[in-house]
A and B are shown apart, each in its own frame.
Chain A
Amino acid sequence: MSYTVTDWDLIQKYVFDDPATVQLIQDAIVASFEIAAIVVVIDIITGLPMAWILVRKQFRGKQFLDTLIDMPLAVPTAALGFSAAIFWAVSKPSAEAPWFAVGEISSPFILVLLLHVIFSYPYMVRSLAAILEQIDQTYETAGQTLGASKLTAARTITLPLFRAGLVTGIILAMARSLSETGGTMIALATMANSQGFQTGPSLIGTLKSGLALNPDLAAPLAFISILLIALSLVLLVALKLVVMKVRLPAGRVWPKWEKILSRGIAPKLKDGFSGAFLIIIVLIPSFFIFAYVFTATASQGDWQTFWESLANSFIIAGVVTLVDIFLGIPLALYIARNKKGRLPQFLDVMVNIPLIVPTAALGYSLGIFWGGAPFISAIPFLLVIFAHIAFTYPLVVRNVEGAVEEVDAAYEDTARTLGARRLQTFRKVLFPMIKASVLAGAIMAFTRSLGETGATIAVAGTSVNTAPVYIVELINGEQFYMAALTCIVLIVVSFAFMLALRLVTRKRRAG
């Protein structure tokens, strides 16, 4: 942020006095917000019936469907980008997309849109399902006893009750889309002709890569980062206000039509469509990369760099997770146990901000901030760690906070009346009860760090070679086979962690 103030002249010179740059930035930002908006709409339309199936229906294999929906979350977006691009897009001939890929999409806008739907869809379904679970089904039944058909009851009673919770889903999905860098860059680079198309974060990534050669790019970089941060914050605040304030109109009822749509083939079509969407739009493109490695020509790559990048990713993710845990638990305890105070409430909001700010912009902003510090700026590795802490820290805090809130404070008070000291009380009484949530938060932070591209590039360019950054480089160098292999290793590792997460959270529920 300080950059804008001190070097406004530079921004004036390199951005506003250069119509081409202004146009470039404007196009990228507009594209980002357009995509985020359309993605959210698609997510809601297709996610709502899916959430309904998950919450209100009882059937065999529900557990399986539940797992399927979470699967794209286990795939790092860098890998998703490549996988989806190979499946959908008219790709570069050297990419050797298999003959059974769709390979029809030539518009970069639509490709990025499809990609963003894949990784935001699970967030939306999860958010909507969580709300739906909170809404008493008796309301709908009551509506039916009053003569409303199933559709009418759901539309006029349950849907309006969604409002408050819908904000969470929209914000999560939108923030994910606005923030996504690696997958977008990779998908665009895989296309035969991406027509110079850029989203806000991918532009940051591209500019940062060119920064070493052309220092003049610093100004537009700073400008677009700030613009992205500011716009997303404004948008999210606006969303929160608008969605909470707007009263849906009472709504007319068309008894005959809604009755017809409530029974017979219509509901089956709806469920079928939801399932088809999940499989065709979300799952197949996510995992298409596995089919790819069997058909593409194997090529010898630089395994040395590959293992290095993987090691870097793990070291960074590991350090980040440890720091998150040690700094996150005290804050979570403080917020959860002092919910009434003004400071804790303020902190509660502040902690969540890094979750909704585009990580590439966040990374660049952090890079400039720490750039002034003599010791830290000399070690890009440390910078990357700092950047990753910024957006993973909220995950740990939120998880732990939620768990602590569910534990009755009376346990701790009782322990202390029995003579236990504060630290002892935490270790022996509270910690065993929230252990699973700490672990869950840690695993989420770890996988998130492992898959992050945007922040890494924005903070350190390509000087710190993590696995996702390495994938971007490989794709830019058209080493598609090697890129696919790297993706698969990342997917397998993330998947193992995701499985661990499910096991941990399931145990928590059972206990």
Chain B
Amino acid sequence: MPEVRLEGLGKTYGKVVAVGGVDLVIRDKEYVTILGPSGCGKTTLIRMIAGIIEPSHGKVFLRGKDMRGVPIEDRGIGYVFQNIALFPNLNAAQNVAYSSRARGADKGVQEKVAREHLKLVKLLDRMAMFPDEMSGGEQQKVALARALASGSDLLLLDEPLSALDARVRVDLRYELRRLTKALGLTVVHVTHDQEEAMTVSDRIVLMRAGTIVEAGSPEELYSQPKHLFTANFIGESNFLEGWVREKVDSLTRIEIREGSTIEVLGSTLEPGDPVVISVRPEFIYPFTTGLRSKVTSSIYMGTYWRIKATTEGDDEMNFDVPITDGHLYQIGQDIYLMVNKRAAVLFPRPREGVEEAISLE
């Protein structure tokens, strides 16, 4: 039952607020990613959970117990570091066996633990190798085995894949999820990579500037973001600014800058309200009518063409055309764009402006 509960957890350095009053519950056996741009306080947060950083205020509860004054080594956690941090003076087996050695176990037990966990990550043949003799991916797998070998059912991963090559990073994602689910662990995984967060998590907690923006399943955050920031940070979005003109039945009709209108399904906003429409590139398509635009670039992406077009109101729109449709659009060409009314999301227009609302700071 390794539930993680954070109550008003915060850290300030002088006047700088790194993390400001975070409340969060992570359930048993849940895989949660803390996602956010660099400097959003996610690493500080996970370090406070581990006890590496002392909180300025608020509390950390692990398994229902207040962790104040409990040193790192007594918190019963497994931790994987961004910079891998395998002990350079020990070989793979000795690294993995370290937790049992630290508890005073004898040589036989240590060896057994090392074998068992290296087998889990399929690196039994690397037992006698020292960290600098292994590839980055292998090193991080050994580091994972080392954390698992501590026997803890709570695993904290601090940007575990950031230091690795792109290809290895993608492979290890699936490995991480598979292993931790098989072992029934509770996982807190910190990352700045939204794609990584989407692939591994049960739930994503999105942070910005020291606070939680919103939390939800990858699908929820992608298709029904509650904040403009989420719409921009997770996946890609086109933003169009306008005003609610009228509401007809379940349809909301929006007038955007150049005078054209767009229809969107459902909304609590009232006529006259300033709004921002957020639409994913996959939900914009060329049609015989719609927003009049001019193609400004057409980029070959392998499986699709990424087309950029500028509307009459000077908004930039990105959309994708499957490669199987052929190379249909040339630069300078005039086209009409339609927005899928089911997939567009409406937000009240932020007072500080769209740019500011989606900025990473």
Contact = CB atoms under 8 A, between A and B. Distances in A.
Interface string B315-354: 0000000000000000000000000000000000000000
Contact of A160 (B83, B89, B156): B89
B50 interface: yes
Given A160-B89, A161-B88, A146 B83 contact: no
Given A139-B85, A161-B89, A148 B102 contact: yes
A148 B146 CA distance: 13
B292 interface: no
Interface stretch (B72-80, B184-192, B277-285): B72-80
A301 interface: no
Interface string A245-260: 0000010111110000
Interface stretch (B17-25, B29-37, B93-101): B93-101
A152 interface: yes
A111 to B, nearest CB: 40
Interface string A110-124: 000000000000000
A149 B73 contact: yes
Given A148-B73, A149-B73, A143 B87 contact: yes
B130 interface: no
A138 B87 CA distance: 10
Interface in B111-151: 146-147, 150
B98 A146 contact: yes
B183 interface: no
Nearest to B94: A250
A152 B102 contact: yes
Contacts of B79: 142, 145
Contacts of B99: 146-148
Chain B interface size, under 10 / 10 to 19 / 20 to 34 / 35 or more? 20 to 34
Contacts of A157: 87, 89-90
Interface residues of A, number: 26
Contacts of A152: 102
A144 interface: yes
Given A253-B104, A254-B104, A263-B71, A141 B52 contact: yes
Which DSSP category, helix, strand, loop or mixed, fits chain A's interface? helix
A136 B83 contact: yes
A145 B89 contact: no
B222 interface: no
B51 to A, nearest CB: 8
A146 B102 contact: yes
A449 to B, nearest CB: 41
A159 to B, nearest CB: 9
B147 A145 contact: yes
Q: Which of A150, A156, A161, A252 has the most CB of B within 10 A?
A: A156
A100 B102 CA distance: 50
A136 B103 CA distance: 23
A150 B74 CA distance: 11
Contacts of A136: 83, 85
B81 interface: yes
Contacts of B146: 146
B73 A138 contact: no
Contacts of A263: 71
A13 to B, nearest CB: 55
Contacts of B81: 138, 141-142
Q: Name, among A144, A146, A256, the residue most crowded by chain B CB atoms within 10 Å (CB to CB).
A: A146
Contacts of B104: 252-256
Contact of B98 (A138, A143, A254, A256): A143
Contacts of A145: 50, 52, 72-73, 77-79, 147, 150, 156
A205 B78 CA distance: 63
Contact of B85 (A138, A150, A156): A138
22 contacts: A138-B81, A138-B83, A138-B85, A141-B85, A142-B85, A143-B87, A143-B102, A145-B147, A147-B103, A148-B73, A148-B98, A148-B99, A150-B71, A150-B73, A152-B102, A157-B90, A161-B89, A252-B104, A253-B101, A253-B102, A253-B103, A256-B104
Interface of A: 136, 138-139, 141-150, 152-153, 156-157, 160-161, 250, 252-256, 263
The 6 closest A-B pairs by CB, nearest first: A148-B102, A145-B79, A146-B99, A144-B72, A138-B85, A160-B89
Given A139-B87, A144-B73, 8 more contacts: A141-B81, A142-B79, A142-B87, A145-B50, A146-B147, A156-B102, A157-B87, A255-B104
